[in-house]
Amino acid sequence: MSFQNVEPSFNQSRDQLISFIDFFKCENILQLFGITFLPEYLKNNLKWSKIHRNIAWSGVGIFFLLAQNSVSVYQKDVFNGRKSSLVPMLENSSINGIMTLMFLKSYLLFYRHRVKLTHIIAKLEQHFPQPSLEQYSLHTRKYLKQIEAFRVISIVYNIAQFCHFCSTPFLYKFYGWLISMDVDLKPVYSYIVPFDQHNLFYYVPFNLIGMWIGAVAVFTILATDLFFASIINIVVMEFDNLSQKFSGIDWNDNEGENIGIKKLKSLVVIHNELMDISTELNAIFTLILFSNVFASITGICIYTFLAVSSGVSKYFWFRYSSSIFTMFLQIFTICFYGQRLSESSLNMIEGIYNGVWYKASPKYRKFVLTIMIRSQREMKIRA
């Protein structure tokens, strides 16, 4: 076979892989959830009916998972006549707790704070129309490349979430085939519903329903994190854009000084709006991020212990490692965007200082220095 024949086949396979990866981008996940997310900006297009429907199905999925794990804790006791070991009890209890906390954070964000979120996004649309990419500073363009890198990471994030939390017996069998290991097909809920593992009429519907509900639950949890990342991304870019405008004010002559002071006043109003929005976001996300960090850190400790306790089992190593990676990525998402918000809010001082304000009259220099002092207020997202 010649290389000329191989190259089109390779390009076709690459295009198919890219189209598959595109499905897992964060904006597509948000659109499935009911949020329209454009690459650089978030429009006020939250389909609340679709969001609430997904959260309701997510609640059903969490209840399904809790019932399944609760039954599996007593599986060995009731049906095998022996006590359950610590490992399955610890695993199922941790999954129940973590998934409940993750569902509660989605409920808090999209139910309890619905009015506040709508108000914040309306503010962003009113005061901060989307600028073109050329109007951003070089620093912000580099940040946009970091956002693209984050989207690639989110692909792995989606797959890791789906592999663990949707690991129904159908996926168990796939894992077993993948690593040449025999896995029992009989699910734990077969003890409370009529089930025959050799009858596809019973086996396939239960597993497909379980996978679908599990996928909705995962997308709901994932959409909460990606929504946080997208809206913080907007505020960060506006801080950077505002810093660039501050440094571009002309103070060379009296006419330029008068124009500059008018522009400076308008920028101060925008800066106040950004600080108010950041404060409101901190109030909304504090409890949500705390539950996320607490669940992730607890899960990392428990799943690391379970991975070590599983011995040489490839299946359990794959299962626990995907969960550990997912939880590390959740913490990274929170820390990365929280740090970027803090840095961009403090970059305001640098933007003002880099201007030629020192050529203005003493009266206006005092005014600029007052703004610089006030800009030292750091915006934070606390957990």
Question: Model confidence over 63-74: pLDDT tens digits?
Answer: 666 666 555 555
What pLDDT is recorded for position 234? 78
- Ranking 23-32, 98-107, 171-180 by mean pLDDT, the lowest is 171-180
What pLDDT is recorded for position 38? 42
- Across all residues in the chain, what is the average pLDDT? 65
- CA dist 236 and 146 (Å) reads 13
- CA dist 146 and 233 (Å) reads 11
pTM above 0.85, yes or no: no
Residue 191: pLDDT above 50?
Answer: no
**Residue 285 resides in a domain:** yes
What pLDDT is recorded for position 247? 76
**Residue 35 resides in a domain:** no
What are the backbone dihedrals phi and psi of residue 195, each rounded to the nearest 5 degrees, phi first? -155, 135
Name which residue leads in pLDDT, 221 or 11: 221
**Residue 86 resides in a domain:** no
What pLDDT is recorded for position 43? 46
What pLDDT is recorded for position 62? 66
CA distances 358 to 153, 156, 203, 260, Å, are 45, 50, 77, 13
**Residue 341 resides in a domain:** yes
Boundaries of domain holding 356: 115-178+208-374
Rounded mean pLDDT of 342-352?
80
Cβ proximity of 328 and 371 under 8 Å: no
Question: Model confidence over 127-170: pLDDT tens digits?
Answer: 666 555 555 555 556 656 656 555 556 656 655 555 555 554 44
Residue 113: pLDDT above 60?
Answer: yes
Residue 271: pLDDT above 50?
Answer: yes
Number of domains making up the chain: 1
- CA dist 79 and 38 (Å) reads 52
- CA dist 237 and 43 (Å) reads 15
Rounded mean pLDDT of 316-326?
74
What pLDDT is recorded for position 246? 78
Angle, CA of 239, 241 and 242, to the nearest 5°: 65
What pLDDT is recorded for position 8? 39
What pLDDT is recorded for position 374? 75
**Residue 277 resides in a domain:** yes
- CA dist 30 and 300 (Å) reads 26
Residue 274: pLDDT above 70?
Answer: yes
- Ranking 57-61, 95-99, 130-134, 312-316 by mean pLDDT, the lowest is 130-134
What pLDDT is recorded for position 180? 46
**Residue 369 resides in a domain:** yes
**Residue 50 resides in a domain:** no
- CA dist 197 and 38 (Å) reads 45
Residue 231: pLDDT above 70?
Answer: yes
- Ranking 293-297, 316-320, 339-343 by mean pLDDT, the lowest is 316-320
Report the candidate in 53, 32, 161, 163 with the shortest Cα–Cα distance to residue 102. 161
- In percent, how much of the chain has pLDDT > 70? 44
- Ranking 27-41, 217-231, 272-286, 367-381 by mean pLDDT, the lowest is 27-41
What pLDDT is recorded for position 101? 73
The confidence band for 196, taking pLDDT boundaries of 50, 70 and 90, is very low
